[in-house]
Structure 1
Amino acid sequence: MKKSLIFLFTTFLFITTNAQNKKQVLDSDFLKTHTSYFSINNNIISGEGRKTLETIAKNSQFVVYGEMHGSEQTSVFNKAFIPLLADSNFKYFAIEVGPHSAQKLTDLTTPANKTVENLNTFNTTYTVAQGGEVAVPIPFFESITDAEFLKEARTRNMQLWGIDQEFYFSAFFLMDELTKTTKGSFNYDNIVNLQNQAKGIMYKHFIDELKGENEGAYAVIKEEEEAVKNYFNAFDISNKKAQAIIKDLKISWDIYINWRNDSHVDRISYMRNNFMKHYNEVAKTEKFPKVFTKIGSLHAKKTYSNGAFDIGELTTSLAKKNGTISTSIGSWQPYAKDKDGTIINNFEKYKRSYKRYQTFIPLAKENAFAIINLKAVRDAIENNEIELPNTGDYHKLRNLIYGYDYQLLLPIDEEPTPNRRE
């Protein structure tokens, strides 16, 4: 009898211990406890998710928003989020354009109430369309809603930092900016003539590329076109603004030319260096300047991403050094409205891309923004409250949860309306 009791007690203890040690595997129900929702109407954020966004703005020195490019809801979100950031003393707005493109955007948004109108004229002047393909002068600011959120930022006196390479099709407006630097000089008429020659040749190469008849305009221009070299060489070495534009154009072109030869990491280093150049300048007079960054989702990761330590990693390292917080927000577009009004479920359309994220899919709503606190999920993993599945899903889920602090799921989205005259 005694042996039987000992056996039963040991068995009970074994079962109880195993039950206690067995952690909950991450599932949709657990994620729901760390998800809040909000809506945006007339640029006002309403709902439980507003508190989450206010907390992010209040507690962070850096907020890095990893956007979905070409998304109407992304611009709607940014326009509504910017007032919360500004109220928490965010003065600086780092964007995924070149330094000289950012300066042009600064000019076009001064005064702020002329932003939409000025960008419309600019985009109309410099956008190139050929055979259904459209090449814009400055990416991510070509739609009406893009102009509206930029107007919001500039109304709040946020300074623009251009941290990326100059865009592929920016050369035409930047050449006009170059030539302007010589207005009134003895050499102006000659430079205008050289610019016209260079522009004509470059335009031909670009049109051929848009048509699919030329695989890389800049490689040809760099190696073969004397007219472009003559134009650049016409600017006096003492013309600092012109030389800075030329230098950055050449850096940008080399990155585009060498993209098959690992120039991606050169681009990321260029972005990091530009970010730090701006940051170090304002840090001379501000102890912990607060910076908002809007950039593609991969660039926002806090971890090693796409072969590089990107902007999200840079701000995370800076914050750690400063004893502050850098918050990275990723985003998905679960639903999209087609041109005929049909609602497309992107989780279904792109099954292969999303198949490892099944636990997140039920959290999306067609008519509300969902924001998931990945930082809280991460803490639960670290505290042994939950664990990730031991299937192949583990790797994608861990990469997401440790790469971002929050994941934003957009409501029904659509392509934004271009801000230009046809």
Structure 2
Amino acid sequence: MKRLILLILTMCLANCVNAQKEHNPQILSTAHIQKHAAYFTVENGKINGKGRKMIKKMINSSQFITYGETHNSKQVSLLIKSFMPLLKKANFKYFAIEVGPSSAKKLTELSIPAEKTVENIRAFNTKYTVSQGSETAEPIPFFAGVSDAEFLQAARMNNMELWGIDQEYYYSTFFLLDELMTTVKGSPNYGKLTQLKKGAMQIMYKHFLDEFAKKNDGAYGLIVKEKAVNNFFNAFKKTNLAAQEIIENLKVSWDIYIRWRNDSHVDRISYMRNNFMAHFKKALKSEKEPKVFTKIGSLHASKLISNGAFDIGNLTEELGQKNGTVSTTINTWVPFSKTKNGIQNNLEKYKRSYGRYAIFTKLAKENEWVIINLKSIRKALLDGSIVLPSNGDYHKLKKLIFGYDYQIMLPINESIVPNRDQ
């Protein structure tokens, strides 16, 4: 009888303790986060370590993966390259990138055959990159480095189709004018168009040089009014659909750049969403569940409203919910950077940006990647087993945990090595 009473009392005590824990849940800490984290390395295009299992599971369970990157990072490019074989095995066929539609077509052309990608892009960048003082005008953003060309090569060797969803880059105009001319090769008016192009280029260069010298507020506001430029565009026949597509892409892009002070950001995001959906609807015609990997800036990858817009991460989340599939979004941080003065601790240098995330950033390592499953942490928050701190950290932590599904922190980051002849 005494044993029975003791057992009942023990059970009651345990229930009371559990009830108290539920009533007073623990505050999210580094110890909690560590349970949902895994480290890995990337060597020779392959992911090694415990993080590989988490990444494979993430890829295999998703229809959409939106990777929110830190731009111009060599380590990000190495990671994206290592994703490609895993994406192929999971039947991902489409690679959406933060470049314009016409630029994506050019990258597709430059990656045929796939094994010549690095070499072809090097020649392209050498031809079209222009330097003026401290300014470097690259023809296509985020594909200027050797490591960038290498991940593109890996994507194309794994049969990924490129989707260009963004506006055409500020300095893409000069190579796209040459692309326009390829649409009329061999035509009777090729000579006339060559002369018109020469006039358009001269006035464009003048406005760009003036912009570099701070003599105007932006080249495109002046370029769109130039008779020489409009005469060149108007000389292409309406029946030349390839030319009209390039011209339209340029005009839309220029308009967004011109109005950047007047809320054109949301027009840019809508343009990106519309381009993504046009590609996606086309893919739906040939398969029931197209799988899309997107590489884009971290702000664009959030599931929540970001910088005043419902961005690509929000769009893929909506599509996943509609399809009954999984849309995964990833955020990236760069805790350490290699500089000419040694290793820079960005967590210390940029405290304003990283300070509120201290319970996460304590897990960063100089020589390993770490991936953190935010979905699991989010689930614990929703079921009440843990809570967020009640101080100012609450806001940034909630935005991170509910905006993304995974957080990746890089090892020591290096700047990209330019893929062009100097």
TM-score after normalising by structure 1 = 0.95
Q: State the match for 2:248 in structure 1.
A: 247
The equivalent of 2:106 in structure 1 is 104
Asked if the contact 2:22–2:385 (Cα under 8 Å) also holds between the matched residues in 1, the reply is: no
Aligned twin of 2:396: 396
Large movers: runs of 4+ above 3 Å: 13-20
- 1:214 match: secondary structure: coil
In structure 1, stretches of 5+ residues that fail to align are: 1-12
Secondary structure of the residue aligned to 2:95 is: strand
1:221 aligns with 2:213: no
Structure-1 residue corresponding to 2:299: 298
- Contact 2:22–2:384 at 8 Å: present in 1 too? no
Hey, what's the Cα distance between the residues in 1 that align with 2:195 and 2:270?
36
Q: Tell whether the 8 Å contact from 2:328 to 2:405 is kept in structure 1 after alignment.
A: yes
Give per-residue Cα distances to partners, 1:342-400, cap 9 Å, x unaligned. Answer: 00010000011111111111110000000000000000001111000111111100000
- Residue by residue, what CA displacement relative to the aligned partner does 1:276-296 show, whole Å, maximum 9, x if unpaired? 000000101111100000000
Which of 126, 129, 132 pairs up with 1:127? Answer: 129
- The code of the aligned residue for 1:145 comes to S
Amino acid at match of 1:147: A
User: What runs of 5+ residues in structure 2 fail to find an aligned partner?
Assistant: 1-14
- Output the CA distance in 2 between the equivalents of 1:156 and 1:65: 18
**1:6 corresponds to:** none
Give the partner amino acid of 1:363: L
CA apart distance, 1:212 = 2.7
Query: What secondary structure is seen at the aligned counterpart in 1 of 2:105?
Result: helix
Residues in 2 aligned to 1:371 and 1:257: alpha-carbon distance in whole angstroms: 39
Aligned to 1:63: 65
Match of 1:200 in 2: 202
Aligned length: 409
* 1:364 counterpart SS class: coil
Greater Cα offset, 231-240 or 212-221: 212-221
Q: Does 1:289 align with 2:306?
A: no
Alpha carbons of structure 1 residues 212 and 368: separation in structure 2 relative to 1, 3 Å: same
Amino acid paired to 1:303: L
Residues 382, 118 of structure 1: alpha-carbon distance in 2 compared, 3 angstrom cutoff: same
Question: Residue 359 of structure 1 aligns to a residue in which SS?
Answer: helix
| 2:355 equivalent in structure 1 | 355
Write the mapping of 1:19-418 to structure 2, written as runs, cut at 5 A: 19-223=21-225, 225-340=226-341, 342-418=342-418
| CA-to-aligned-CA distance 1:204-226 (integer Å, 9 cap, x gap) | 21122223332200001112x11
- Counterpart secondary structure, 1:260: coil
Q: Which amino acid aligns with 2:114?
A: A
Instruction: Quote the Cα distance in structure 1 between the aligned partners of 2:59 and 2:358.
Output: 29
Contact 1:57/1:85 (<8 A) preserved: yes
Inter-CA distance 374–19: structure 2 relative to 1 (3 Å threshold):
closer
Q: Offset at 1:42?
A: 1.0
Query: TM-score w.r.t. structure 2 length?
Result: 0.95
Q: For 1:40 and 1:183, locate their aligned partners in 2 and report how far apart those are by CA, in whole Å.
A: 46
Counterparts of 2:402 and 2:254, CA distance in 1: 34
Gap change, CA 1:120 and 1:234, over 3 Å in 2: same
Contact 2:95 2:162 in 1 (8 A): yes
Q: C-alpha distance in 2, partners of 1:247/1:60?
A: 34
The alignment yields a C-alpha RMSD, in angstroms, of 1.4
Q: CA deviation at 1:17?
A: 5.4
Query: Secondary structure of the equivalent of 1:63?
Result: strand
Take 2:27 and 2:242, find their aligned partners in 1: how far apart are those partners?
A: 57
Percent identity between matched residues is 58
Residues 203-256 of structure 1: CA deviation (Å, up to 9, x unaligned): 121122223332200001112x11101100100111111111111100000000
Counterpart residue identity of residue 146, structure 1? D
- Residue type of the partner of 1:111? P
What's the secondary structure of 2:93's corresponding residue? strand
Q: Deviations over 1:316-363 (max 9, x none)?
A: 0001010100000000000000034x0001000001111111111111
**Contact 1:131 1:211 (8 Å CA) reproduced:** no
